Each structure stands twice: as structure tokens, then as C-alpha cells.
Amino acid sequence: MKIDTYNNSLLASLAYVIIIIAGLKAGSSIIVPLLMAFFWFLLFLPLVNKLRSLGMPDLITTVVVFGITLFIVVIVGTFLVSSGQELVAKLPVYQEKYYELIPKITAFLEKFGLSPEKNHIIDFFDPMKIIDYTARFLKNMGNIMTNGFMTLIIVMFLFLESSMLTKKIFLLLKTEESKANVLSFIKNINTYFSIKTLTSALTGVVIYGILAFFDLEYASLFGFIAFLLNYIPSIGSILAAIPAILISLLQLTFMDTVFITIGYLVVNNLIGNLLEPRLLSNGVGISALFIFLSMVFWGWVLGPVGMFLSVPLTIILKMACMYSQKWKWVSVILDDRIK
């Protein structure tokens, strides 16, 4: 009887989870702006609290921080859209250079006894498709930022009512332990975003320096892509390197491309695999396997934004399960340490 009851309870819980996931996926067009606003708010919350501690009124604090937010969104969004358009416009030039490169590729393969036809090489490897996809991705991301009116409005009201919101949450929480857990959650999210932004900015600047040294076209754009995609765990840095390496292959010499590739590998390993894990060791607490799996899952549910927010969303899930007797095992599995 107990086994049947347990099985029924487990099946019911799984059914609830599936319904919730289906609801998130179906309502992603509404949920994504809300999530972006929430995490944007958490990112700037330390600045809001700092200005308030200096005696600045809530209204003035909101105007200042929202002004900074709006400036960043407009500048970055415009830059991404214009860069994407320029890249699309230049595709015919790169395609012509690629066709000029094919005889060299054929000659190189013939040294190993391979004699592929031109069409076979194009079918097997066409960098134009990757460059075109990159350009359209940039335009879409830029449009999301510049047209995210709903997100900006939500952020503005969150800034305006942040002090009152905190007081309301603390009133709802009955124990000091619950309040400490909420503060710990906010601190973890802020720690993650702050350190991730720092390491992403460092990655972008160093990559830009390497590409500018070789005088690669769109060095600033590829530096920003390295910054942006570094927020995506595990594969973001790899994806950021692909378009830059392809453009390098079409514009520069083969040896230059090799050095640029080595530069990406060195930067991503030093910052992504050494510096960042050390800084985040006490800030996330999720195993590398589940960081990658969470990126895949949230990307499937919420699209590209879900990939960027995969770690914070998984932290929320981990903390929620940590204080539930039924779902505590989920928190244990997600954790990067055995306590």
C-alpha cells in the first residue's frame, strides 16, 4: 500500500512538472520579458542600494539607474543591429573570397590522396551559412533589446518599488531562517552576475585586442560577441570563436588564423577554466554537468534568452528544492559538492 501511494505521489509530481514546463514553453513570449526584467533588476540592485545608502530618494535613484539601463540597452541594441546589417551586406564579398580559397583547400586535400569536387566541399563546409546565421542572430538580439519596451517598463517599476518589495517579502516570511535564505539567494544571484560580467568583459577586451592586432575586420564586434556569449555556459565561448575564425580564414593568412585560434583557446582556458571557476567557487554551487544540461534545457524552453539565464534559473530551482523534503534530492544532485 505504501509503495502504491509513493508511486502515485511520484507520478502526480512528475505530471505537475511536465505541465509547468509545457506552460513555460507555451507562454515564453510573456515569460521571457518578465525574467529579463527580474534578472536585470537583480544585476543593478547593488547600485540601487548603494545610492539609497547615500541618502538619495527612491524616485531619483530610479531615474538614475533606469537612465543607465536605457542607455546601455539603446547603445548595445543599435550596435548589434547595425553590425548585423553590415555583415549581411558583406556576405557576397566573403563568398567570393571563399570560392577563391577552394582551389587551395583542394590542393591541400590532394596531398593526402583526396580529390573532392568543388560542390562537395561547399556542401560539406560552407562558412557563409555560419556567417549569415551570426549576422541574423546579432540583428535579432539587437531588436530584442531595442524593442523590449515591456521589459524596460517592468524594470523601471521594480527599481521604483524595490525597497517596498523587500519589506513585503520579509513580512510574508515568518522565520529568520527564511529571511536569511532569501538574502542568500539574492546575494548568490548578484555574485554570479557580477563575476560573470567581469570575466565576460575581460574576455571581450582581450579577444578584441588579439583581433585588432591582426587587423581583422569587425574586431570590436567579435570582441563584443565574446563578451555576450560568455554568459552561455560551456559552449558560449566556443560559439563566439567560430565566426571570427571563419572571417579570419577569408581575410587573413592561414598562419594568422592559426594564431587567432590559439589566442581564443588560451583566453577561454585562462579566464573560463581557471579564473572564473575560482571566483565563482562559492557563488553558484552547481556541477559543471548540470550547468551544461541546464543551458540546453532552458534554451529549449525559453529560446536564446533561456541559455543566457540558465545558471540563475537553475540556482532558483536548486534553492527551492533545498528546503523541500520531497524534492531535496534534486538539490543534492545539482550541487557541485557532497556535504
Sequential DSSP letters for 99-151: HHHHHHHHHHHHTTT----HHHHHHH--HHHHHHHHHHHHHHHHHHHHT-HHH
- Residue 311: closest CA among 195, 159, 203: 195
| pLDDT for 247 | 84
Long-range CB contacts (within 8 A, 24+) of 74-78? 74/146, 76/142, 76/145, 76/224, 77/141, 77/142, 77/143, 77/144, 77/145, 77/146, 78/142, 78/146
| pLDDT for 266 | 92
| pLDDT for 67 | 84
Is the model's pLDDT at 193 over the cut of 80? no
Is the model's pLDDT at 48 over the cut of 70? yes
280 domain residue, yes or no: no
301 domain residue, yes or no: no
For range 191-196, the mean pLDDT: 78
- Per cent of the chain over pLDDT 70 is 71
Alpha carbon distance 178, 328 (integer Å): 16
Kindly indicate the confidence band of residue 43, based on its pLDDT and cuts at 50, 70 and 90. confident
> Poorest-confidence range of 213-227, 259-273, 316-330?
316-330
338 domain residue, yes or no: no
Alpha carbon distance 63, 47 (integer Å): 12
Between 290 and 227, the more confident residue is 227
| pLDDT for 210 | 93
User: What is the residue whose three cell numbers read 549581411?
Assistant: 88
How big is the CA angle at 212 (ends 211 and 213), to the nearest 5 degrees? 90
Alpha carbon distance 142, 140 (integer Å): 5
45 domain residue, yes or no: yes
| pLDDT for 135 | 67
Burial classification of residue 339, based on how many CB atoms lie within 10 Å of its CB (0-12 exposed, 13-18 middle, 19 or more buried): exposed
The model carries a pTM of 0.73
| pLDDT for 146 | 56
Between 131 and 230, the more confident residue is 230
For range 101-123, the mean pLDDT: 59
| pLDDT for 15 | 75
Q: Residue 164: CB partners within 8 Å, gap ≥ 6?
A: none
3-to-14, 16, 328 alpha-carbon distances in Å? 16, 20, 20
Q: Which domain holds residue 83?
A: 33-172
145 domain residue, yes or no: yes
Query: What is the number of domains present in the chain?
Result: 1
Q: What is the secondary structure of 219-259 as a DSSP string?
A: HHHHHHHHHHHTTSTTTHHHHHHHHHHHHHHHHS-HHHHHH
150 domain residue, yes or no: yes
Is the model's pLDDT at 316 over the cut of 60? yes
42 domain residue, yes or no: yes
242 domain residue, yes or no: no
What is the per-residue burial (b if ≥16 Cβ within 10 Å, else e) of 148-168? beebbebbbebbbebeeeeee
Kindly indicate the confidence band of residue 202, based on its pLDDT and cuts at 50, 70 and 90. very high
